[in-house]
Amino acid sequence: MGGFSQFSYRAWEVLLKYIIDDVTSRGEIMDDSYEKSKFIQNFSKETLNSIEEIGRSAAERAASFVEDMSGDKIEIKVFKVGLVTPKDIKERMGNDTKVFTKIKFDGIINGTGVLVFSEDSALKLSDAMLAGMGMDDESDDGEKFSEMKISAINETCNLLISAYVDTFANFMKTSLNMHPPSFVIGCGKELIDEIFKSYDVKDDDLVFTFESELFSHGIGAGFEVLIVIHHDSITTLFNEL
């Protein structure tokens, strides 16, 4: 992967976080001037600031979409940009049951957008979305997630991930293709593992992530938005910016 291959995962994480906001995710100031200078030779601070701007703009746009659909104010509680490994993401997801909707996108960069809910949050959001569209779920089949609820969650995923994908494409002056959303319920760690395996991404490969947590006090629910730029597209993303 060009310049990325000369540093370990930890070195890249520290360098990226230092240049973007002067601290790593653990609060440690980066003082290795040699590694920092080598990094800056490849990618300027302006480029990294642009990447942060992309993610923040996309998160704000995504929140606006949910607000428009649900009628409730949406708060961006978490926003993070980083280089991580699939192993790190899987460990964070753990073994709890999660509701996932995911969309693959491709073009000059490849990636996956994922919404991650608890079951309760997914149900609350789907009900709010249906109400916002003037629709009632009249299903009486006993299933927690009726076709209408799944459709509402998938549409939410489509809108939110498109906010990120369109923002990436606009910044890079290109177009990216989005695939249809996929809804699944299961173990968080296993679901994430399936996503990476579908792209032949190994546990210790680097991936670039935009992470946001959106929360509606009106709905009383929140969910995670995880955008993963796969390892074979990281250098392309940086170079295009």
- For the domain that residue 197 is a member of, what is the CATH number? 3.40.1550.10
How many residues in the chain?
241
Q: Is residue 220 part of a domain?
A: yes
Tens digits of residue pLDDT in 19-63: 444 333 333 333 333 433 444 445 556 666 777 888 888 889 888
Which residues lie below 8 Å from residue 15, measured CB to CB, with a gap of 6+? 7, 30, 35, 36, 39
**Whole-number Å distance between alpha carbons of 152 and 156:** 6
More confident residue, 45 or 71: 71
For residue 18, what pLDDT is reported?
A: 43
Q: Do 112 and 177 sit in the same domain of this protein?
A: yes
Q: Do 11 and 79 sit in the same domain of this protein?
A: no
Q: Do 138 and 76 sit in the same domain of this protein?
A: yes
Mean pLDDT for 8-13 is 45
Q: Is residue 204 part of a domain?
A: yes
Q: Is residue 48 part of a domain?
A: no
Q: How many domains does the chain have?
A: 2
Q: What percentage of the chain has pLDDT greater than the value 90?
A: 20
**Whole-number Å distance between alpha carbons of 238 and 108:** 12
Q: Do 59 and 14 sit in the same domain of this protein?
A: no
Burial bucket for residue 118 (CB in 10 Å: 0-12, 13-18, 19+): middle
Least confident of 48-52, 65-69, 73-77, 208-212: 48-52
Q: Is residue 161 part of a domain?
A: yes
Confidence check: pLDDT of 229 > 80: yes
Confidence check: pLDDT of 140 > 60: no
Amino acid at 80: K
Q: Helices in the chain by DSSP H: which ranges? A: 9-21, 33-42, 45-70, 86-93, 119-132, 147-172, 188-198, 234-240
Helix, strand counts (H, E) of the chain: 8, 7
Q: Do 148 and 35 sit in the same domain of this protein?
A: no
Host domain of residue 14 = 1-42
Q: Do 29 and 141 sit in the same domain of this protein?
A: no
Mean pLDDT of the chain: 77
Tens digits of residue pLDDT in 155-196: 888 988 998 899 888 888 889 999 999 999 999 999 999 888
Assigned token pair, 32: 């290795």
Give Cα separations from 140 to 96, 123, 128, 146 (angstroms). Answer: 27, 15, 18, 9
Q: Is residue 144 part of a domain?
A: yes
